[in-house]
Structure formats: C-alpha cells, structure tokens
Amino acid sequence: MLDAGPIPSGSTGDGPDDHALVAAARRIGVDVAAVHADDVDHHGRFPVEAIAAVRAAGLLGALLPVQHGGAEATLAEVAQAVTALAEHCAATALTVAMHSIQVACIARHGHPVLLERVAPGLVAGELLLANANSEVGLNGERRTSICALEPTADGFRLTKQASTVSYGEHADGVLATARRHPDSPAADQVMAVCLPPTMSLEPCGEWDTLGLRGTCSRPALLSATIEPEFVIDNYADVFVQTSLPVSAILLSSVWLGLAEGAASRAHAAVRDQARAARRADPDAPAPTSALRLAEATVCLHQIRSMVAHGAAEYERCKDGPEVATLRFASMMDSVKIATSTLAPDVVRRAMAICGLAGYGNASPRSLARISRDIAAAPLMVGNDRALLASAQALLIRKEL
C-alpha cells in the first residue's frame, strides 16, 4: 500500500516528468488497477481497490493549493496521472478525472468557507466527489437545468433527477448544477456542493453498458439541503473558466491512456512477430505490422501533443481574460473532439496489428475491454454538442 497523506510538490527525481503524483499513479496503475481491471469490467463493479489506493496516496487533493494542504499540481501533472491510470483501468482513471474536475471548480470558484470545510477531507483521501450535471429531460445539454435551488430559512434545498452520476454510490459528496431560483430561466445556473449528512443519492436505474462498466454511472435522485457558502455562484463563469477546459483535458487524458494501452499491446505483438521472422531468417525485413504500428504512433503522438499543449495553454491562460474567450473555449472543445476521434482510431489500428490475439477476451493481448471503453469517448460530452458550440462561435469570431 502506498503511503497516505498529501503528495509533496515537485519531481521525484525518477525521470523528467515524474512528479510524485504521476509516479504514484503509475505505481497504482500497474500494481492495483491492472490487477482488478478485468473483474471490474466483467462484473460492472466500481474499482474499489484502485480507488482505495488513490485515496491512500493523497491523489484526491492534488489540485488543492499548498495553503490548504494540497500538492498544487498543475493540470498537466494531473493529466499525466490520469493517463497512467487509464492505461490499465479506464474506470479508475475516469473516476480520478471527474473527481479532479470537481476539485478544480471548488478550488478556483468556491467560497473560502467551502474550501476550508472540504480541503482536509480531500487531502486525507476521505472525500471523493461525483458530479450530477446531466438531468433527466435534457439529454446531453450542459448549460441549462430544470431543477432549481429552493430557498429555506438558512440556505437552500435541491431535488434533482440526475440522469448519470458516475460512482455516485461510492462518492462522499456530489456537485450538481441547478437553476439559481425556482423563477430563474433555464440557463441561469449555479453549482451546488452537496455533502452528507444533508445529502442523499438514491439510485433509480442501472448502468449496464458496453464499456466503462466500472464507473457505475447510474441515474439517481439527488436530495440535499445546502448552506449558502456551499453554492458556487454563476456557473456560466465556472463553465468557461474551469469546467469546460479541465474536462476537455482530463477526459482526453483518459482517451489517451486507452490509446497508449492499445498501442503498447500492438508494439509487443509487432516485436514478437519480428523476433519469430528473424529466427527463421536473420535477414528478414520488418514485418508489415511494423508499418501499421508506425502509422498508429503518428496518431498517438498527435493525441499526446494535443493533451500536453492544451494543458499548458490552460495553465498559461487560466487566470487571465483569455480563458473566457470564444477562441479558447473552441480550442478546448477541439482538443476533446480530436482526441476522442483519434484514440478509437489508434485502438482500431492496434486490433488490426494484434489480430485474433487482440480480438479474444482472454488473451494477454486482448483489446476487447479497451475497444468497448473507448467507444464512450465521442459520447461523453457529445462531440456534436462541442462542434455545434464551436460552429456558433465561428459566426461571431473574426479570427479562427
């Protein structure tokens, strides 16, 4: 088991990109997530072992500022950690990605009272945060809500028919969008931080899906009473400044990790084929599959570059006016659309290289789980919605 407690900031000295957070994620990926990934997928169960290791390693508070006990990791570092986990278990990686998006929203937009209340739990690994933005009746629409905060004597009450709450039954708190007031228009949203004991999440449906079965993203009825300081005002700002870019990068990091996992299986297959050919004929040329692998790595490098560039751009712009521009939002949408289009392509190419060994469920080179998991990439925040947002912005923007 990895040491509990906050991750120190800075490099481990193990390698150029080995921030302690990334090194911890790599170890959890290999030692824990990989061991249970097939069982998690097969039984559609939450990756309890890997998330216990994530909690113990202090990864839940990685994005918190140092003064609140966090590691103050950059988005690039969290993205690398998510990718390292996704290579072995996408359900674990998506859980860490979605939790980190919630932490980023709280850290950057939350009231100081809220930060003080949640920071110790995050740092101690006791507060896994889920998200209940999707709502029954809205499909994939993110920027409107049906439910509304109802004022009470000392705060608010919220009841929401959430259509998809990943790991809701395993979470220690839920962030949910809602209209500001029962009289507010649909797009006048706030973000409510719902915590026990004044929160309940009652599952009201199943999550029996093709892939990402371990996220257990069941529909649920969310009921909560919320203190005024636990309402993050003006979700429109939260969305453009934090939720949209951080989601784009961290979801893309999951798709990248799946592509990395597929490509490494293909790489091993190609090397096996080359060794076998050279045993028969020491002068045998590189197998055709090596060419296919070279093509796949072109896509893989594109995804790596886009995620790294997107994360760096976010760090550069996050505290200035540029983050709120249509150009920046479109760039982040483009990262998500591109990675969620290219990553399935890498997996498909890897399947062609591995052949039946990739197609089989039980083979060590199996790409079955990865192929099913990656199918969610264009759906999770629908690519058409992101494209439509970019298309509308292009009508207003004067420069591409």
Ligand X SMILES: Cc1cc2nc3c(=O)[nH]c(=O)nc-3n(C[C@H](O)[C@H](O)[C@H](O)COP(=O)(O)OP(=O)(O)OC[C@H]3O[C@@H](n4cnc5c(N)ncnc54)[C@H](O)[C@@H]3O)c2cc1C
Taking the least distance from each CB to ligand X, the nearer of 133 and 253 is: 133
Quote the least distance from Cβ 45 to ligand X, whole Å. Answer: 15
How far does the chain reach from its first CA to its final CA, in angstroms? Answer: 49
34-43 vs 90-109: helix crossing angle, rounded to 10: 100
Taking the least distance from each CB to ligand X, the nearer of 131 and 273 is: 131
Q: Which residue is nearest to ligand X (CB)?
A: 140
Show contacts with ligand X in window 147-186 (CB under 6 A): 164-166
Taking the least distance from each CB to ligand X, the nearer of 27 and 143 is: 143
Stretch that binds ligand X, among 23-31, 60-68, 283-291, 378-386 (CB under 6 A): 378-386
Contact between 215 and ligand X by CB under 6 A: the answer reads: yes
CB atoms within 10 A of CB 238: 23
Taking the least distance from each CB to ligand X, the nearer of 278 and 372 is: 372
Quote the least distance from Cβ 159 to ligand X, whole Å. Answer: 16
Show contacts with ligand X in window 102-131 (CB under 6 A): 130-131
Among candidates 282, 277, 304, which has minimal Cα distance to 84? 304
Taking the least distance from each CB to ligand X, the nearer of 166 and 273 is: 166
Contact between 343 and ligand X by CB under 6 A: the answer reads: no
Contact between 388 and ligand X by CB under 6 A: the answer reads: yes
CA separation (Å) from 326 to 14, 234, 392?
A: 39, 18, 10
Stretch that binds ligand X, among 134-142, 193-201, 257-265, 303-311 (CB under 6 A): 134-142
The alpha carbon dihedral of 324, 164, 73, 346 has a sign of: negative
Show contacts with ligand X in window 191-210 (CB under 6 A): none
Contact between 385 and ligand X by CB under 6 A: the answer reads: yes
| CA–CA gap between residue 196 and residue 366 (Å, rounded) | 41
> Which helix (DSSP H) or strand (DSSP E) does residue 158 occupy?
strand 155-165
Contact between 335 and ligand X by CB under 6 A: the answer reads: no
Contact between 224 and ligand X by CB under 6 A: the answer reads: no
Q: CA 62, 24, 213: angle at the middle one, nearest 5?
A: 85
Contacts of 238 (CB under 8 A, 6+ apart): 105, 108, 109, 191, 232
Kindly tell me which residue out of 24, 89, 98, 249 binds ligand X, with binding defined by CB under 6 A.
98
Among candidates 284, 277, 387, which has minimal Cα distance to 332? 387
Quote the least distance from Cβ 134 to ligand X, whole Å. Answer: 3
| CA–CA gap between residue 328 and residue 314 (Å, rounded) | 9
**Count of residues that interact with ligand X, criterion CB under 6 A:** 22
CA separation (Å) from 369 to 97, 264, 344?
A: 19, 15, 12
Contact between 376 and ligand X by CB under 6 A: the answer reads: yes
| CA–CA gap between residue 219 and residue 201 (Å, rounded) | 10
Taking the least distance from each CB to ligand X, the nearer of 80 and 102 is: 102
Contact between 226 and ligand X by CB under 6 A: the answer reads: no
Among candidates 277, 302, 301, which has minimal Cα distance to 289? 277
Kindly tell me which residue out of 379, 391, 392, 397 binds ligand X, with binding defined by CB under 6 A.
379
Taking the least distance from each CB to ligand X, the nearer of 201 and 296 is: 201
What would the two tokens of residue 254 be? 């999951």
Kindly tell me which residue out of 140, 203, 355, 360 binds ligand X, with binding defined by CB under 6 A.
140
Stretch that binds ligand X, among 65-73, 133-141, 226-234, 317-325 (CB under 6 A): 133-141
Q: Is the distance from CB of 243 to CB of 105 less than 8 angstroms? A: yes
Binding site for ligand X (CB under 6 A): 98, 130-134, 139-140, 164-166, 212, 215, 217, 376, 379-382, 384-385, 388
